[in-house]
């Protein structure tokens, strides 16, 4: 029994909406680094049963890969409270993955939302008034 969830365009939105903390591994069967990262990701899923670990097969789900602008695989993304707080291509070693999860757990989501609102205000504020 895998600790990870296969994400598809049918269940993706529901998974991200229903869960406060979702890690997403964008991968493909033919990708060597993806295969190397898979056991590290699986172990992290087993070590963090309170979090949702999803996998998106970019070959089977090209719409999801395109929606997130995935250019390179594997890419790890972390979504907290429906906000992408981390996205990085490349297979992470176990220690780095553990560190990233720890940092994402510590994020103050109120502060993150405030920063996003400020960025959106700055981007939208310069166009006519």
The residues assigned a catalytic role are: 31, 34
Question: CA–CA separation, 22 vs 30, rounded Å?
Answer: 24
Please tell me whether residue 1 adopts helix, strand or coil conformation.
coil
Q: Is the dihedral of CA 109, 112, 118, 124 positive or negative?
A: negative
């Amino acid at each position: 029994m895998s600790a990870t969830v296969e994400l598809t365009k049918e269940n993706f939105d529901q998974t991200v909406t229903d869960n406060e903390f979702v890690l997403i591994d964008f991968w493909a069967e033919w990708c060597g680094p993806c295969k190397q990262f898979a056991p590290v990701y699986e172990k992290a899923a087993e070590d963090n049963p309170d979090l949702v670990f999803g996998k998106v097969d970019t070959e089977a789900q090209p719409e999801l890969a395109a929606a997130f602008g995935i250019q390179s695989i594997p890419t790890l993304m972390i979504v907290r409270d429906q906000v992408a707080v981390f996205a990085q291509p490349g297979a992470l070693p176990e220690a780095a993955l553990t560190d990233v999860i720890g940092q994402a757990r510590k994020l103050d989501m109120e502060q993150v939302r405030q920063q996003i609102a400020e960025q959106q205000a700055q981007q939208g504020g310069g166009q006519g008034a």
